[in-house]
């Protein structure tokens, strides 16, 4: 009987393959974490490993390399819903047995397993490889993250390493696009729970009606449409970490249920009467000030103090502009590899424009801008100004110009030459737009924050910016 280890970050896939292969008389173990998988392989011999190629905590090539060093007699089959000829050829040339596509075909999977040699024997470790290399993974490298060396980044990284190694609940506070989920994964990777599941939950996509079921699960027949039992995110994350992104979007009644789960360390599925013990570390993320929201009764204060054993603030990209070339180079290399093209370069003018821009969308915006520009390089693989998105060009020529304005009636008049200085309505509009410019400058043109300070809806702010010829 062949021993098979399944490695897939989707627990449902692990469970499905476990049941299927066990029925076909294979001895199966599963894990959703690559680091845990390597520890299992050091302790026990497996004839075969079946691995999801796109694991979040390590690349397919790297895990193949480490398996071959730790246990060279264990054969490897990769699987993925995104199979490319380049990836398949690469891993097979490096010694993988096969690369099969998802959704898995049962007959194809069994045929691939039967084609393995099934070499038996004790686990062998390549003695030429330093023990430290086998036992230690660099979380930053294996998560595909990049960090600069400016003071704010270095301080943040030191805090991540220190807090990650504790049981503390952490609130990650930062603007949209600053990489809060990547930091949550890094906290998990530095923690003693790193070999257990990491479950990420987008609270913004959880409506009031489904949030309880998604977080805590439900029993069959608990409500209309509950045709089977469902295991919630908390049970899936048991022993590991649950990451609640944009937690401020949860309704107050779900916040109450979450507070109880954290205090009592038990959950109860919807429609069930059994209390299920849970051991979960909670990391949350928000682009808002939860303490301020709690004072205004938009967020439970008791939940805030339960979650905020440590608050980690992530600096915006504009606060670490010295690292911009590092991120640009990283995204250029990443996109060039994806497009199978030589590494692209930016013209000096494009570099200057990117340095001038204020990056309200932070790293996410930068990555998307780089990806877009890489589609149409000029001669010698040089990216020219013409490929810059319109909103960046307009921002540089429009908003950047407006930043230098002293906010008073006369200079706002320059924006609106048709205003009549003796007309009462025009005078009111001037004062209104002066205030908008003042607040926009104060929050570095973050529209969400500006709308909150001005106490207007964000769409209303967009309309007013459009009238002022300021791009949004």
CATH fold for the domain made of 140-313: Rossmann fold (3.40.50)
> What residues does CATH 3.40.50.2300 cover in the chain?
3-135
Mean pLDDT for the chain overall: 82
Neighbours of 437 (CB within 10 A): 23
Query: Given strand 241-245, what is the order of strands in its sheet?
Result: 198-202, 241-245, 281-286, 170-173, 310-313
| Predicted pLDDT at 308 | 94
Lowest mean pLDDT among 124-128, 209-213, 385-389: 124-128
Query: What is the helix (H) or strand (E) element at residue 78, kind and residue range?
Result: strand 75-80
User: DSSP string spanning 449-472?
Assistant: HHHHHHTS-HHHHHHHHHHTT---
* Close Cβ partners of 235 (under 8 Å, ≥ 6 residues apart): 216, 217, 267, 276, 278
Tokens 């690559």: give the residue.
Answer: 34
| Predicted pLDDT at 122 | 39
- What would the pLDDT profile of 212-244 be if each residue is shown by its tens digit? 999 999 999 888 888 889 899 999 999 999 999
To the question of pTM greater than 0.75 for the whole model, the response is no
Provide the percentage of residues in the chain whose pLDDT is more than 70: 86
> What residues does CATH 3.40.50.300 cover in the chain?
140-313
CATH architecture of the domain formed by 399-467: Orthogonal Bundle (1.10)
| Predicted pLDDT at 423 | 59
Q: Are 286 and 114 in contact (CB under 8 A)?
A: no
| 3.40.50.2300, 3.10.150.10, 3.40.50.720, 3.30.1490.20: CATH of 3-135 | 3.40.50.2300
Q: Going by DSSP bridges, is the β-strand pair 170-173/281-286 parallel, antiparallel, or unpaired?
A: parallel
Residue 120 has pLDDT above 50, yes or no: no
* Close Cβ partners of 59 (under 8 Å, ≥ 6 residues apart): 142, 144
Residue 151 has pLDDT above 80, yes or no: yes
- Can you tell me the mean pLDDT for 41-48? 89
Sort 102 into a burial class: Cβ within 10 Å, 0-12 / 13-18 / 19+.
Answer: middle
Residue 138 has pLDDT above 80, yes or no: no
| Predicted pLDDT at 406 | 41
> What residues does CATH 1.10.10 cover in the chain?
399-467
Q: Judge: domain 317-397, CATH 1.10.8.60.
A: yes
* Close Cβ partners of 428 (under 8 Å, ≥ 6 residues apart): none
Q: Are 190 and 160 in contact (CB under 8 A)?
A: yes
Q: Where are the beta strands (DSSP E) in 189-291?
A: 198-202, 241-245, 266-267, 276-277, 281-286
Opening angle at CA 408, ends 407 and 413, nearest 5: 105
| Predicted pLDDT at 421 | 56
- What would the pLDDT profile of 326-368 be if each residue is shown by its tens digit? 899 889 988 988 888 888 889 888 988 898 888 988 999 999 9
């Amino acid at each position: 009987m062949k021993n098979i280890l399944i490695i897939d970050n989707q627990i449902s896939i692990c469970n499905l393959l476990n049941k299927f292969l066990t029925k076909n008389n294979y001895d199966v173990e599963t894990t959703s974490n690559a680091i845990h998988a390597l520890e299992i392989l050091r302790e026990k011999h497996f004839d075969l490993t079946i691995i999801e190629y796109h694991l979040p905590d390590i690349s397919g090539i790297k895990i193949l390399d480490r398996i071959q060093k730790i246990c060279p007699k264990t054969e490897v089959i990769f699987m993925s819903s995104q199979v490319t000829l380049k990836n398949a050829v690469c891993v097979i040339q490096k010694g993988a047995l096969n690369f099969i596509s998802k959704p898995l075909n049962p007959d194809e999977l069994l045929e691939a397993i039967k084609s393995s040699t099934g070499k038996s024997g004790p686990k062998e470790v390549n003695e030429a490889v330093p023990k430290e290399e086998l036992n230690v993974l660099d979380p930053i490298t294996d998560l595909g993250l990049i960090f600069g060396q400016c003071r704010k980044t270095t301080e943040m990284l030191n805090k991540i390493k220190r807090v990650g190694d504790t049981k503390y609940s952490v609130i990650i506070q930062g603007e949209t696009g600053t990489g809060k989920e990547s930091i949550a994964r890094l906290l998990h990777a530095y923690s003693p729970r790193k070999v257990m599941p990491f479950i990420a939950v987008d609270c913004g996509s959880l409506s009031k009606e489904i949030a309880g079921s998604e977080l805590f699960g439900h029993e069959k027949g608990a409500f209309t449409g509950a045709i089977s039992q469902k295991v919630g995110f908390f049970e899936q994350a048991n022993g590991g970490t649950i990451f609640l992104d944009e937690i401020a979007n949860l309704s107050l009644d779900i916040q109450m249920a979450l507070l109880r789960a954290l205090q009592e360390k038990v959950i109860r599925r919807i429609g069930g009467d059994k209390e299920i013990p849970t051991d979960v570390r909670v990391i949350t993320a928000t682009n808002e000030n939860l303490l301020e929201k709690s004072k205004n009764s938009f967020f439970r204060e008791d939940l805030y103090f339960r979650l905020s054993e440590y608050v980690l603030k992530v600096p915006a990209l504009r606060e670490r502009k010295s690292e911009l070339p590092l991120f640009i180079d990283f995204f250029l290399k990443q996109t060039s590899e994806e497009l199978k093209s030589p590494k692209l370069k930016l013209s000096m003018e494009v570099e200057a424009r990117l340095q001038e821009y204020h990056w309200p969308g932070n790293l996410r915006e930068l990555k998307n801008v780089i990806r877009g520009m890489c589609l149409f390089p000029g001669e010698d693989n040089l990216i020219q100004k013409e490929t810059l998105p319109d909103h960046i060009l307009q921002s540089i020529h429009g908003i950047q110009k407006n930043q230098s304005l002293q906010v008073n009636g006369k200079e706002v008049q320059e924006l609106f030459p048709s205003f009549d200085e003796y007309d009462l309505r025009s005078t009111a509009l001037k004062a209104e737009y002066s205030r908008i410019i003042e607040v926009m400058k104060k929050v570095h043109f973050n529209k969400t924050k500006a709308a909150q300070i001005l106490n207007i809806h964000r769409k209303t702010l967009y309309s007013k910016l459009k009238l002022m010829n300021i791009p949004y």
